[in-house]
Amino acid sequence: MEERYIPEVPLSSFLRHALDIVKNPLPFHHKNFMEKGDIFSLKLGVNTKVYFCRDAAFAEYVLQKNHKNYTKSKIQTKDLAKYVGKGLLTAEGAHWRRQRKLIQPAFHKKQLKGLLASIEVAILTEYKKVVANKTIDIFPILNDLAFQTVVKSLFSSAANQNDIDRLQYITEAAQKMLVKELRQPYLGWWFSLSGKIEKHLKLTAEARQILSRIVNERRTSGSKQNDLLDMLLEARYEDGGAMEEAQLIDEILILFTAGHETTSNALTFTFQLLALHPEWQEKICQEILVVNTQSEDLMTRVMASTVCTQVIEEAMRLYPPAYFIDRLNIAEDKFNGMTFKPGSNLLLSVIEIHRHPDLWEEPNTFNPKRFSEGSRKFSSQYFPFGAGPRKCIGNNFAMFEMIIAVRELVSRYKIYPKFDDIDITPLITLKPKNAFLKFEKR
């Protein structure tokens, strides 16, 4: 095949728009995709070139077909790992494969069924904060909801509220610090010299102490809670051994980090879109009436909530919390005549693939009906939880949680928008901004 040239964006163009890019890089990405094509490059230094991609076939190739030749970048394997350790999200190679095989059974649908009651209780508790006939920013409520749901699923009632609040504070503080480090790499020396990084490393050490105490209390109590902590404690490697405590705590910290921010973002965008499209609120309500009369079993109700599922899937298409996926290739690779030297930085733009005009009919329109046959129909162009062997292990957990959260809120309130347009802040995840809504009791 003839060698294809990959268009390059001049560094001068990047520098000219640097301040705007720091605030929101997505317009810069979109402009160059439109002008340069579905793959373009940007040289940021003598030996650093980043390839930006919205080619769904190439993304599928990297994430699935030739995934063994690709590894995560240091953003996760080093920068994030220093705060949360080497868990599933940050590990690579044989260590990752061993952990994935060990932990995967805990997230099978049949195992998650036993957690749904705890998830529902956590959600209903947080919804007590919703005030009728008053404009509120829904994101803080949903952020707490998502964290509390992870905690209740992990620890049932074992952890006291002071510990939970402290763990949430530390988790979010570390995330904010990581964002600063990634958005302002030129201030790395100052973050170290001023003690900011050391301060947050001490906070994560405190979180580890809290988690160690909770784990040891569970072990010595001998009680069975049938929560995620029990499942992780009982999990065994092929040699019959259990996870060491340090590794177990790494995995719990990963669940806190990966399991709450993306979910709260997705839920916020979902409710904003429902506020703008009230006809879908009514469709969900009609579905709830039918489903609830057919079964009292919560898992059955969740699995039967197809309209609700379509709404959430469409929200994650338009506003994917994990809006980019980064990879480095180990050996030289070729794809459709393009050559990628070893160690090339690849940035797969999920949000651009999800809105690509060649892949989606009316790509910028909210239309949950497109998922009426399920999301598998779009498996080669729809990656809200990633794809391939490194697809998010908690995707079923997250979907069950979001379905319950949407059902419970929409069945209680009519939702009205108190914002002009859906506003975003692209950080490590795609975060909502100014998500002001008004709720009227049904």
Q: Is the pLDDT assigned to residue 158 strictly greater than 70?
A: no
Q: Residue 239 has which token pair?
A: 């040699």
Q: Residue 251 has which token pair?
A: 């995995």
Q: Which residue has the higher pLDDT, 361 or 13?
A: 361
Averaged pLDDT for residues 194-206: 95
pLDDT band with cut points at 50, 70 and 90 for residue 1: low
d(CA 194, CA 197) in angstroms, rounded, equals 8
**130 in helix, strand or coil?**
coil
Q: Return binding residues.
A: 392
Q: Quote the pTM value.
A: 0.95
Range of lowest pLDDT (11-15, 191-195, 282-286): 11-15
Q: Residue 439 has which token pair?
A: 């709720």
Helices (H) and strands (E) in the chain, counts: 20, 13
Q: Residue 159 has which token pair?
A: 């952890």
Bridge partners, residue 52, by sequence: 40, 347
Q: What is the DSSP letter of 386?
A: B
Residues 6+ apart with CB under 8 A from 67: 388, 389, 390
Other C-beta atoms lying within 10 Å of the C-beta of residue 172: 16
Domains and CATH numbers, the chain: 54-154+262-441 (1.10.630.10)
Write the pLDDT tens digit of every residue in 337-395: 999 999 999 999 999 999 999 999 999 999 999 999 999 899 999 999 999 999 999 99
* pLDDT score recorded for residue 20: 87
Burial zone of 68 (CB within 10 Å; 0-12 exposed, 13-18 middle, 19+ buried): exposed
CB-based contact 95:86 (threshold 8 Å) = yes
Phi, psi (rounded to 5 degrees) for 204:
-70, -30
Q: How far is Cα of residue 43 from the mean position of the Cα atoms in its chain? A: 28
pLDDT band with cut points at 50, 70 and 90 for residue 46: confident
Q: Is the pLDDT assigned to residue 183 strictly greater than 90?
A: no
Burial string for 228-253 (b: 16+ CB within 10 Å, else e) reads bbbbbeebeeeeeeebeeebbbbbbb
Q: Is the pLDDT assigned to residue 307 strictly greater than 90?
A: yes
Q: What is the DSSP letter of 390?
A: G
Q: Is the pLDDT assigned to residue 180 strictly greater than 90?
A: no
Q: Return binding residues for heme.
A: 392
* pLDDT score recorded for residue 282: 98
pLDDT band with cut points at 50, 70 and 90 for residue 257: confident
Percent of the chain with pLDDT strictly greater than 70 = 99
Q: Is the pLDDT assigned to residue 43 strictly greater than 80?
A: yes
